[in-house]
Structure 1
Amino acid sequence: MPAAGSVLEHLLWPVLGLMLYATFTLVPLNHLRDAFRDGRFLAAAVLGNFVLIPILA
């Protein structure tokens, strides 16, 4: 099924990104939608990952 391989290849990186996000933020996958709706949580995650960690590194 070569066509399925092409579709799955395009879905690989977004799915992998969501799984890594859930793993590193310790959010269970069934609560991932709630985590994306929580503005304070997202702000803390973005601030930590893209501002504080690079400054410390």
Structure 2
Amino acid sequence: MFIEMINELVKERYHQECREWVEGLSEKQLKLISKYIFEEDEFEAFKKRIDNSN
């Protein structure tokens, strides 16, 4: 359920389907999504920050 909610947030914000990416994130990365989702306007910059945070 939590993963589905995160996926929907990202999908609404960036209009990107990224379920597989979200499912592969660590707990730390999932927590950072709520912070970075409002700081980055572009999906690739957002994804890069999350990917590099592990």
Q: TM-score when scaled to structure 1?
A: 0.33
TM-score (norm 2): 0.34
The structure with more helix, counted as a fraction of residues: 1
